[in-house]
Amino acid sequence: MVSLPRRQRVGAYAVMLREHEGRVEVLLSRLSARVSRTELWTLPGGGIDHGEDPRLAVIREIREETGLEATVGETAHVYSAHLPRASRDGLLVDAHAIRIVYDGWAAPDAPTPRVLEVDGSTIEAAWKPLDDVVSGAVPVAGLVTEALVDHLPFRLQRVAAYAVVRRAGEVLLTRLSSRAAHPGRWTLPGGGIDHGEHPSVALAREVEEESGLPCEVTGLIGVHDTHFFGNAPSGRIEDYHGVHLIFSAAVGDGEPYVREVDGTTDAVAWVPVADVESGGVEVLDLVRHALGLDSARSTGA
């Protein structure tokens, strides 16, 4: 038996997910007729050039095949496919494909995908409903179903500390900037706890950054949590769990101002509690929850 010429190829690809109009979608590229005679979709990506960093290769390939500027994660999974009799460039070969598949994402305001590469292996790019891919309604290459098993939405659990600071019927609140998940809404001053940092120390630091005023943390009022599934501000789809430690605190005299530049806070103010309770000021659920806990603690209820 005559052995076929061996051809080994390494490529870099990305699983890119997003939440759109209440459903999860995956970005796919449709293979041209010279690659597949029937309709077949695969992950965006392709061959790694000699001397090219795999992560840079997949970003380049995504741009060529979809027109999108992608961000690619640091970790990946590797898949191997051996095709003893495969057609490559009109020749019958013994093919071995090694695929490095990363997590990837695009900005929420990214344009509609379109193929930039001329006469390449891709003729169309589109976001496809994940349910249709899983059910088989969208015909996909084996790499897609194999990679989707390993590239579930990114899970993130974040612990943060927040302060209830009151004065004469008002509460100190900060407004979320366009860099935050809920821009324009108001929340309690505070933020993430750095690794190894005591929560009260983290809170005093965050309050001073967001209000420009020194902060004295007194006691823990309670704990609040939130669970979110969808697009993060970066465009990455996340299964997010936030755990919020709520403290009572006091700040020094003076007018508050945002000291941190280009952060997730763009305003700080003393807000009448009555405006929060009436809905006149749009706040996160954390604020109402914390004010309720603080009021119950003050009255001994």
pTM of the prediction?
0.70
Which one, of 77, 81, 78, lies nearest residue 152 by Cα?
77
- Please report the pLDDT score of residue 79 as a whole number: 95
Kindly state which CATH superfamily the domain 155-299 is placed in: Nucleoside Triphosphate Pyrophosphohydrolase (3.90.79.10)
Closest CA to 101 of 62, 51, 156: 62
Mean of the per-residue pLDDT values of the chain: 92
C-beta neighbour count of 184 within 10 angstroms:
12
Regarding predicted confidence, which is higher, 230 or 170?
170
Least confident segment among 11-15, 152-156, 241-245, 257-261:
152-156
Arithmetic mean of pLDDT, 71-98: 88
In this prediction, residue 249 carries a pLDDT of 96
Of 244, 142, 230, the residue nearest 187 (C-alpha): 244
Residue 288 has pLDDT above 80, yes or no: yes
Q: Which fold has domain 6-150?
A: Nucleoside Triphosphate Pyrophosphohydrolase (3.90.79)
Confidence of residue 301 (pLDDT cuts 50, 70, 90): low
- Where in the sequence of the chain do the CATH 3.90.79.10 domains occur? 6-150, 155-299
Q: Which of 151, 147, 149 is nearest to 41 (CA)?
A: 147
Task: Enumerate helices (H) and strands (E) in the chain, giving the number of each.
Answer: 6, 15
pLDDT of residue 2: 66
Selection from 189, 244, 251, 242 nearest residue 221 by Cα: 244
pLDDT at 24 over 80: yes
Residue in 74, 9, 42 with CA at minimum distance from that of residue 145: 42
Phi, psi of 142 (to 5 degrees): -60, -30
